[in-house]
């Protein structure tokens, strides 16, 4: 995978979410999306943590 591609894809996904109007989403689907968004946020936080704690060689 090319470096930075994942972050660009993440930015595009967030842009797509931003383009949606949550008031147009049926409540049952909105609840499912909220749960999924929280799971995805936890996964993103795990990736941030992985990158935060990378040590330089020899450290």
The model's pLDDT over 21-51, given as tens digits with 9 standing for 90+, comes to: 999 999 999 999 999 999 999 999 999 999 8
| Residue 12 maps to a domain | no
In the prediction, which pLDDT does 1 show? 63
Number of domains in the chain: 1
Domain for residue 3, yes or no? no
Rounded-to-integer distance, Cα 59 and Cα 45, Å:
24
pLDDT given at position 15: 98
Is 32 among the domain residues?
A: yes
Q: Which domain holds residue 33?
A: 22-54
Q: Does residue 33 lie within any of the structural domains? A: yes
Asked whether residue 30 is domain-assigned, the answer is: yes
Contact 40, 9 (CB under 8 A): no
Residue 28 lies in a domain: yes
CA atoms within 13 A on the CB side of 1: 7
């Amino acid at each position: 995978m090319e470096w930075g591609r994942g972050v660009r894809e993440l930015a595009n996904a967030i842009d797509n979410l931003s383009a949606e109007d949550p008031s147009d989403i049926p409540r049952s689907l909105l609840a499912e999306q909220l749960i999924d968004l929280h799971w995805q946020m936890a996964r993103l936080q795990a990736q941030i943590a992985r990158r935060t704690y990378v040590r330089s060689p020899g450290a």
